Structure 1
């Protein structure tokens, strides 16, 4: 193989690998949609009883503060965005998170235990956010992914659905919170996107999200074992702190399709050289090769490599001098 052909072949083989290495770093341009879901951790939340019987369970004048602890829950997001082609993206997001209440404590005086039983209910958070992202370009990043960071602000409603805790021991009154309140919210996001080569524009995403809200105020009450309301008031909850890990998909509509790798047509096979006849002459009454005869035989041997001929015919002739028997032996020699 010539050096020129070898260089051309190496260039063609290298092109797909180069294009594949650059694919993860193409910035998002134009409209895109994204969505994801995963686990959500809602941190413990303090509750302050306001209004009504501030002590709720006792008459000792103790401060009426309590706390809820939540199980690991889940959440999901969906968004519509626009990429500017320079790494900056803007999007509008809808989100939802849900955690089940595991324990309720507090709201007790110095002589009364703060333990509760029959805890339950769900805390849901849902709302809309406006986000801004920046796709990072990190030289020699060791993984074929596109890191990005972002943040956003918006409005989130906090819903306490059937949140309930019954005092034990020292009575069996129960706290019941069933209300919804909306507040300003914010979030920070860090993630990576892994482009799917088989579907240009489609990427798998993995994100960590932190979301917080201002303190919601929720109507609540205390009921006795018969279900009658003992006291009504408002619970002021601490700012929400959510930590989420989500897996999702993102699709950019205007991602250019990769150009097909150029197909190099094989060089046409050289046409075989036409078969030739090589004549070797001998001196009179001699069978040994002359210098010119050896040169012609060398040319014939060299020509075999390019003609593709696989059939060789050799014929020897003598003149009419001498007897036929002698001439036969001479021609064979």
Structure 2
């Protein structure tokens, strides 16, 4: 019944909701815990030197507790290794089969030592479960010293016996538990069930018999079979390396292609309408662009600066004609580059709309131009 109740308590703790996500440990951590210890009934064989006989009996344990501290290392893939120091205490409240009826037994024992544990954290997300808990399982092996505090069995006939002694032996354990984040970086609450097994050598402990009235009548060695401790533990675990994992690499997004220009400028030498090599290159770029962007009409506008080979009013009229010749030259080049003539509109504006404001009769290279506009 006590074992069933303890298992139920551990299950309820494991099911308690928490509001944080589970954590897999990477790097060093420390772990402390404590809880209830339930030791199974032990079978004892005592050699009585006085009677030259072996007495078999059973020692029944009652309440107990356990505590441990551990230092470990997590490898980031769920696997952990830790070194643990442990202390166990258990009351002894009855002895059966001692050869004399109606005995009353009172005493206690304790064990202490160290174990090396290998554990594995189970990431529930790999099973499609997004739960704020990390179950874990583990095994351990080490060495424990078992010490029986003076344990007296008082019999109905007035005689009594006393068990005591200390002996060390190999120990092992199995671990099942779960860890919950607290919201504090690196800090987790744990709940665990542990089963510790321990072996003993023959004649490891001593029993002394006393007659009614207290006189010692003999002593002998006592051997125990396997010892099993069932433990239900609550603990705290702190991981020192709490840096969040690097964010997943973002998919590469190619930058958008540069926008195709819709206005191109072709410049001319003074009083010239013929295209230079650079001018032909710009016209070719405009013709190529017209095939890559939605274009319904190409506007070609010619301009001059306000200087002229003619003077006075004749100069302005001459420049108007020069601007048209420049526009027609660009149109002809566009047609050679594959642009349909029907898609091209030309205009000559003479000295109007300069790019750079100047004084009268000024030779300004940026005003001697043709603008190609893709509509």
TM-score using structure 2 length: 0.57
149, 152, 176: which one pairs with 1:161? 149
Whole-angstrom CA distance in 2 between matches of 1:141 and 1:147:
12
Aligned to 2:36: 39
Structure 2 SS opposite 1:53: coil
Coordinate RMSD, CA, aligned: 2.1
Cα deviation digits, residues 120-154 of structure 1 (max 9, x gap): 11111111000000011222336410000001000
Taking the TM superposition and a 5 Å limit, the aligned residue runs for 1:219-238 are 219-238=206-225
Q: Secondary structure at the match of 1:248?
A: strand
Distance in 1 of aligned mates of 2:39 and 2:172: 15
- How do 1:119-268 and structure 2 match up within 5 A? 119-138=105-124, 139-141=127-129, 143-168=131-156, 171-197=157-183, 199-215=184-200, 217-256=204-243
CA contact (8 A) 2:179 2:190 kept: yes
CA distance in 2, matches of 1:54, 1:148: 52
- The residue aligned with 2:26 is 29
Q: Which runs of 5+ in 1 are unaligned?
A: 1-19, 56-60, 260-333
Following superposition, the deviation at residue 258 of structure 1 comes to 8.4
Counterparts of 1:244 and 1:163, CA distance in 2: 23
SS, match of residue 80 in structure 1: strand
Distance 1:196 1:258 in 2: 18
Equivalents in 2 of 1:224, 1:76: separation in Å?
39
2:49 aligned residue: 52
Cα deviation, residue 51, structure 1: 5.0
1:115 and 1:222 map into 2 onto residues whose CA distance is 16
Q: Check the 8 A contact 2:103/2:155 in 1, yes or no.
A: yes
Query: What is the CA–CA distance in structure 2 between the aligned matches of 1:54 and 1:82, rounded to whole Å?
Result: 55
Question: Which residue is 1:83 aligned to?
Answer: 74
Secondary structure class of the residue paired with 1:64: strand
Q: Which runs of 4+ in 1 moved over 4 A?
A: none
Partner of 2:88: 97
- Counterpart CA distance in 2 for 1:211 and 1:114 is 32
Number of residue pairs aligned between Structure 1 and Structure 2: 225
Tell me which residue corresponds to 1:67.
58
Displacement after TM superposition at 1:91 (Å): 0.5
d(CA) in 1 for partners of 2:242, 2:131:
21
3-state SS in 1 of match to 2:242 = coil
- Contact residue 106 and residue 115 of structure 1 kept, 8 A: no
Contact 1:200 1:257 in 2 (8 A): no
Q: TM-score, normalised by structure 1?
A: 0.64
